[in-house]
Amino acid sequence: MWLRQSTASQEILLGTFHDSTDGDTEETGLTIANTDIKLWKNGTTAQVNKNSGGATHDANGRYYAVLDATDSDTLGNLEINVHVAGALSVRREFMVVPANVYDSLILGTDTLTADLTQIDGVAQSATDLKDFADAGYDPATNKVQGVVLVDTSTTLTNLPSITSNWITAAGIEASAMDGKGDWNVGKTGYSLTQGFPTNFADQAITATTGLVSVGTNNDKAGYSISGTKQTLDALNDLTAAQVNAEADTALADYAPNTVAPDNTSITAILADTADMQPKIGAPATDLSADIAAVKVDTAATLVDTGTTLPATLGSPAGADMSTDIAAIKTETASIQTDTTNLRGVFKQNTAISNIEFLMIDSTDDVSPITGLTVTGQRSIDGGAFANVSGTIAEVGSGIYQFDALAADTNGGVITYKFAATGANDRFVTIHTTA
């Protein structure tokens, strides 16, 4: 922001001021005196207080202050710093410019002063510049310092006359005519060294040498196929009988029965099957009937030796085996019910008194410790530990008791943690039933 030099009543904004604790909250109720507003002026070595008047809150933690002529008396950079209790420090920079520059560029009420004192780096006298502007150039009186003009001639005179061949090749740079076209304008005296054919004028040239032999003639017009079929279309006239006859001929020519077999492999297969025969023996009727007979004999053998499933298990207690299995299932269900009742000694969501536990000295990890102030926490069904609602009291000899309220048992699996200074933590887990 620009400021006008040595001018009073110039209003500036300071901020935003944020709370020094959280660095975010806008401070709207600060008291900012002129001694809190520090000015560092261009070229100085120390800050000074604002001349008079502090800052007033405007909106959203921003404050305005009014500078006087003393505050803005030095051209160049002006830095303002404000740091008050309860807020973070605020810093702003300004540029103090001459009145003519400020009025011309900011207010638009003036024009910039542009005094001509030099031309091309050479200092000019005011008299010469004025006379030059008023009466024009005169080398004797109205002139520009540093510029010398010789007024000896206003036209070109005393030039040498132009003679024949006065411009020579030596006087022209070799590349001067590059890209300027063909400079041999007259084409007389030229001739062609290559001879033309005798019949060139008739535009009918006959080649006698360099003939090319054509290997493939793509134009088949005028050709025919020798034999019984005179055209390609006739190849589509074969009958089914002709096709079958050709196929039979091909099969006869193949003669598969005359192909020599792999005698070595066949001999090996025969030898292997021959080895199996004496081991199995000749079937009584056929192989399938013999296998069925073996199955019958095997079943009879199991009965005779008492190794069938009924023989192994013994006679059923009831009417049959199915009745015994049903009775076993009934007894198993009863056992499950009994074990469930055994597990749930404690009732869920119900107060429980006299849950006793032992506290051990943390010094030797062995000795019971008395006189403790024990606190308790609970974790219900794997949840986080929280303070118990019930009370804890000492019984004696290191034994303490916990009277749990319903809130302390409101779960299926509950772990209690008891702690006291000088003792090891004690954990007790119970299971409840609904």
Mean pLDDT, the chain, rounded, equals 81
Distance of alpha carbon 399 from alpha carbon 357, whole angstroms? 6
Say if residues 64 and 123 touch (Cβ distance below 8 Å).
no
**426 class by beta-carbon count within 10 Å (0-12 exposed, 13-18 middle, 19+ buried):** middle
The pLDDT assigned to 322 comes to 84
Distance of alpha carbon 274 from alpha carbon 299, whole angstroms? 32
Tokens 């207690």 sit on residue: 317
**268 class by beta-carbon count within 10 Å (0-12 exposed, 13-18 middle, 19+ buried):** exposed
The structure's pTM equals 0.33
- Using CA atoms, how far residue 37 sits from 7, 58, 132, in Å, is 18, 16, 54
Residue type, 78: L
Closest to 359 (Cα-Cα) out of 428, 429, 405, 430:
428
User: Can you read off the two tokens belonging to residue 226?
Assistant: 């020798």
Closest to 369 (Cα-Cα) out of 392, 402, 397, 394:
397
Longest dimension (CA), the chain: 159
* Contacts for 45 with CB less than 8 Å, ≥ 6 apart: none
User: Can you read off the two tokens belonging to residue 409?
Assistant: 């048992």
CB count, 10 Å around CB of 24? 8
Enumerate residue ranges in the chain where pLDDT < 50: 214
Domains and CATH numbers, the chain: 2-107 (2.60.40), 115-146 (no CATH), 284-328 (no CATH), 346-433 (2.60.40.10)
Tens digits of residue pLDDT in 300-356: 877 777 666 665 566 777 778 788 888 888 888 877 766 655 555 789 999 999 999
Q: Are strands 122-123 and 62-67 parallel, antiparallel or unpaired?
A: unpaired
* Contacts for 111 with CB less than 8 Å, ≥ 6 apart: 104
Tens digits of residue pLDDT in 246-273: 888 887 776 655 555 566 766 776 666 6
User: Can you read off the two tokens belonging to residue 189?
Assistant: 């005296």
The pLDDT assigned to 118 comes to 75
Q: Is the previous residue joined to 16 through a cis bond, with omega within 30 degrees of 0?
A: yes
Residue 118 pairs with which residues in a beta bridge? 123
Closest to 84 (Cα-Cα) out of 48, 38, 132, 141:
38
3-class secondary structure for the chain? CEEECCCCCEEEEECCCEECCCCCCECCCCCECHHHEEEEECCCCCCEECCCCCEEEEECCEEEEEECCCCCCCCEEEEEEECCCCECCEEEEEEEECHHHHHHHHHCCCCCCCCCCEECCEECCHHHHHHHHHHCCCCCCCCCCCCCCCCCCCCCCCCCCCCCCCCCHHHCCCCCCCCCCCCCCCCCCCCCCCCCCCCHHHCCCCCCCCCCCCCCCCCCCCCCCCCCCCCHHHHHHCCHHHHHHHHHHHHHHHCHHHCCCCHHHHHHHHHHHHHHHHHHCCCCCCHHHHHHHHHHHHHHHHHHHCCCHHHHHCCCCCCCHHHHHHHHHHHHHHHHHHHHHHHCCEECCCCEEEEEEECEECCCCCCECCCCCCEEEEEECCCCCEECCCEEEEEECCEEEEEECHHHHCCCEEEEEEECCCECCEEEEEEEEC
Q: Dihedral through CA 14, CA 18, CA 19, CA 24, nearest 10?
A: 170
- Using CA atoms, how far residue 349 sits from 355, 382, 432, 434, in Å, is 15, 16, 9, 8
Say if residues 355 and 402 touch (Cβ distance below 8 Å).
yes
